[in-house]
Every structure is written in C-alpha cells, then in structure tokens.
Amino acid sequence: MTTDTARHVPDRLDSPLRSAVFSWEMLLVLVAVAIFIVNSISSPYFLNAWSLSDLTFNFTEKGLIALAMALLIIAGEIDLSVAAIIALASTLMGMALQAGADTPLLVAIGIGVGLLCGAFNGLLVTRLGLPSIVVTIGTMSLFRGIAYIILGDQAYKGYPQNFAFFGQGYVGWVISFELTLFLAAAVVFWFLLHRTSFGRAVFAIGNNPVASAFSGVRVERVKFILFLLTGLMSGIAAVLITSRLGSTRPSIAQGYELEVITMVVLGGVNILGGAGSILGVVLAAFIMGLVTFGLGLMNVPGIVMSIFVGLLLIAVIALPIIWSRFRERRA
C-alpha cells in the first residue's frame, strides 16, 4: 500500500520503555486484564484457584502447537494439518494399545507419528517447492482420512491408569502437568526464536527468503525443521488430549487448526510472515482460555463463544489499523 503523504522520519528512535508501553503485547495484557475483571464481576465462581486451574486446560494443548506454528508463520509458511496429525497420532496410539503397548511406548508412538507427519509436510513443501497452504489442506484430509479408514465409527478406549497423568495429572497443588509443559515449552521456544541464530534465520526468511538465501541462510532446511517442530508439538498435543479424554475417535481435535492459527495471529504474529513474538502468542493463549472459560461460566454455549473468538480475531487486527488511520487524518 502506498500513501500520498510524505513519510514522517523521526530524529530519534523510541526509548525502550516507550516501545514496551505501546507494544502489541501490552495491548494483549490490557485485554487479558479487562476480561479477567469482567469474568470476576460476572461470576462468583471465577476467582478460585481450582477454577483458574481448570481454565488452563482450555488452551494448553492448542497453545503448545501455537508456539511452533508461530515460528512457521513468521517464516512465511503455514500448517493446516495439525489437528489431523493429532487424529492420526491418537489413532495409532489406540492401535498400539490394542496390541498391548505400555505407557512409554504409547507416548513414543504419539510423538513419533507427529514427527513423521511433520517431515512429510516439510518434504512436500521444501523438496517439491509447493505452497504450504494447499499442501497442508491435502495432508489434513489425508492424515484424518487414514484415521477414519482405521477407526471408522469406532473408538479406542481403556488407556492404562498411569497414562492418564499427562492430561489429567498435577505436578503440585493446582498446577497441572499440561500447564507446566506449556510454560516450559514457551521458554524453550522464546529462547529459540529470540536468542539464537536459528531464530534470526526464521525472521530473515519471513521478511525476504531470497535475500536470506544469499546471506547464507539454508532456507529450505530451516523451513523443514519448522515443519518437523510443528509435527512434534502436534504429536505431544495428541498424547495430552488422548490422555485427558481417555479415548480416541477419528473426529478428535476437529477444527483445532483454526483455533491455533487464531491464537498465533491474535498474538501479534504477522500472517504474511516476518514479525511476531512468543510472549504475544502465550498471552493470546491465555486470552482465548479466559474468554472461553468466562463465557462457559455464564452458560454461553460453545458455538456462541466461537463468535466472540472470531470477533476478537478481526477486532484485534482491525482496531490498530483504524486507530492509525484516525491519527493520520488528525495529523
């Protein structure tokens, strides 16, 4: 988009404090606090350690995938097959269970299937140079399709007792294993994206893949690793959700891919690539959890909640644009 007005060139950069105060993350914190206050006022059951703990189950599984998806989107790619990977991984875990697998093997299968699916996506995109959005629409049907071929309208049940820990266990007081894992993964991904040369490469690729390649970044390899990481996190999410539900159906995690992408975009990651932060994604995950849980306490049906999530997604992106236009007009 070109504008007619001459570009305003500041004579100095904003101070770190000023840029922190006016950052996307700060906006998200304000939104989260506002929703938190509204929830506390509207429901007497909200401000309670166990309620708040339950709340986190709304976003930890999707949040884990969103961390990897954020990197993928920053690098200019996307993976729509994450929910289908969960379905396939969970189905194969169920098959292994039927064959007598114990808990460590089940976890290994879940994570292994995730990695394989991610590698398949990565190979199609990087080796054959295909657009990731279409490739993953295809693999999304393929992966879930295989789950349907194996399971049909059946379900796997009867996961072992100690397997239930991953999705239902607590590491101490009200802190669940899922939340701990999510926060630990968030730290790892924050370090990877914001503190390593790999992370710089991810940003570089998203901003200009050609220039990155000429600067010595191995573009295809970085993208392949990102697809692998997204597959890995989907595999981990498959273990958690299978453990939490205690059963596998081929329709498991249906529609998760859209919620994960909503989380990433809400977190300030540019859907066109090149910009974003892990802190934003983590805050967006909490906001999505707060909104759905708060509305749930008010007995709002799930499908009506989705209206709020959709509005939130569009509003959070549209409002800054409208605001900056408004300021431009006044200036």
Partner 1 sequence: MKALAKNRETWLLAAIALLVAVIALRFPAFARPGNLLSVFNDTSILIILALGQMAVILTRSIDLSMASNLAFTGMAVAMTNAAYPEIPVVLLIVMAMAVGTALGALNGALVWKLGIPPIVVTLGTLTIFRGATFVLSGGAWVNADQMSQGFIALPRTAILGLPMLSWFAIAAIAAFHLLMTRTALGRSIYAAGINPTAAVYAGIDVGRTKFLAFCLSGMVAGLSGYLWISRYVIASVEVANGYELSIIAACVIGGVSIAGGIGSVAGAGLGALFLGIIGSALPVINISPFWQLAISGSAIILAVVLNARGERRQGRIILRRAEA
Which residues lie near partner 1 (CB under 8 A)?
1-2, 124, 128-131, 133-135, 137-146, 148-149, 152, 250, 254-255, 258, 261-262, 265, 271-272, 301, 303-307, 309-311, 313-314, 317-318, 321-322
Quote the least distance from Cβ 36 to partner 1, whole Å.
Answer: 23
Could you give the count of Cα atoms lying within 13 Å of 118 in the half-sphere of its Cβ? 27
Candidates 146, 61, 136; CA nearest to 95 is 146
**Shortest separation between residue 281's beta carbon and partner 1, angstroms:** 15
Alpha helices in the chain (DSSP H): 16-21, 24-42, 49-56, 60-74, 82-98, 103-127, 132-151, 165-168, 177-195, 197-207, 209-214, 219-245, 256-266, 278-297, 302-330
Neighbours of 250 (CB within 10 A): 23
Minimum Å distance from CB 134 to partner 1?
Answer: 5
- Nearer Cβ to partner 1 (187/311): 311
Least distance from partner 1 to the Cβ atom of residue 1, Å: 6
Beta carbon of residue 106, minimum distance to partner 1 (angstroms, whole number): 24
**Residue 51 or 141: which CB sits closer to partner 1?**
141
Bridge partners, residue 170, by sequence: 176
Structure tokens at 323: 């605001």
Give the residue with the Cβ less far from partner 1, 143 or 189. Answer: 143
Name which of 108 and 137 has its Cβ closer to partner 1.
137
Which of 226, 233, 276 minimizes the C-alpha distance to 257?
Answer: 233
Nearer to partner 1, 258 or 297 (CB): 258
DSSP reduced 3-state for 152? coil
